[in-house]
Amino acid sequence: MQLRRSDVVTGALTLLDTEGLDGLTMRKLGAHLGVQAGGIYWHFANKQALLAAMADRIIAPVATEPLPDAPWDAQLTELGQRLRHALLKHRDGARVVAGTYVIEPNTIRAGEQALRILITAGFPADRAAWVMAPVFYYVLGHTIEEQAQHAEGDWTERNSDEADPALQTAMTSMLSAAPSDRFTFGLNLFLDGLRHRLPHSPA
């Protein structure tokens, strides 16, 4: 039976979870789908196009679920949290999304949601995207690192000697903290900046 474009994306995401991004090859994907590697190129022009489709699928839940009726800052926080959770659902999800310049439908929709929140809240339309981009970079950057989980011993090892105790405290408290706490902290840092530019919304 035939392979649809969406089957290829689904198979690729399954393989992503078991092999990771670096282990995701067209040949392995072909084998997983019961097809020659070359066969995939009938459905996708190249690997990059497939990765873009995967990224869009990963982001889908962020664009789909309706936002709660809440103040703009709570809505924006919710969007950031949803994005992180969506990225965490697949191994290397953040790297996949970061690596593809996505102009697929769901990604566009998610971005439009963020812009609408900001514009409705009173941000000038010609600055809304300037605000959205940093939040997006932050969520991606944080989650990439969260998913990389490079053996945490590294830093402590390298710097066990010669270091300022305050700096030690700083690094240790970052490495030992729960990722979700650090994430929320950073997101709030951002929103403080935003709230500062805009009258706080009435609850």
Partner DNA sequence: ACCTGAACACCGTTCAAGT
Residue 194 lies near its own copies (rule: CB under 8 A): yes
Cα-Cα-Cα-Cα dihedral sign, residues 11, 16, 17, 19: positive
Here's the x/- map for its own copies, 123-162, by CB under 8 A: it reads as: --xxxxxxxxxx-xxx-xxx-xx--x-x---xx--xx---
Q: How far apart are CA 75 and CA 71, in angstroms?
A: 6
Q: Out of DNA, its own copies, none, which partner does residue 70 contact, by CB within 5 to 8 A per kind?
A: none
- List CB contacts of 150: < 8 A, sequence separation 6 or more: none
Of 33 and 83, which CB lies nearer to its own copies in the complex structure? 83
Here's the x/- map for its own copies, 107-126, by CB under 8 A: it reads as: -x---x--xx--x-----xx
> What is the Cα Rg of the chain in Å?
20
Distance of closest approach, residue 138 Cβ to its own copies, in angstroms: 5
Query: Is residue 202 exposed (0-12), middle (13-18) or buried (19+ Cβ within 10 Å)?
Result: exposed
Of 66 and 196, which CB lies nearer to its own copies in the complex structure? 196
Question: For residue 186, how many other CB atoms are within 10 A of its CB?
Answer: 16
Q: Which of 183, 191, 59, 62 is nearest to 123 (CA)?
A: 191
Distance of closest approach, residue 19 Cβ to DNA, in angstroms: 9
- List CB contacts of 177: < 8 A, sequence separation 6 or more: none
Which one among 18, 27, 133, 200 touches DNA, defined by CB under 7 A? 27
Distance of closest approach, residue 49 Cβ to its own copies, in angstroms: 13
Task: Give helix 5-19 / helix 26-33 axis angle, nearest 10°.
Answer: 120
Here's the x/- map for its own copies, 59-98, by CB under 8 A: it reads as: ---------------------------------------x
C-beta of residue 59 within 8 angstroms of C-beta of residue 107: yes
Q: How far apart are CA 88 and CA 23, in angstroms?
A: 18
Residue 48 lies near DNA (rule: CB under 7 A): yes
Q: Out of its own copies, DNA, none, which partner does residue 30 contact, by CB within 5 to 8 A per kind?
A: DNA
Residue 25 lies near DNA (rule: CB under 7 A): yes
Q: Which of 95, 109, 178 is nearest to 140 (CA)?
A: 95
Residue 21 lies near DNA (rule: CB under 7 A): no
Residue 46 lies near DNA (rule: CB under 7 A): yes
Residues near DNA (CB under 7 A): 2-3, 24-28, 30, 34-39, 41-43, 45-48
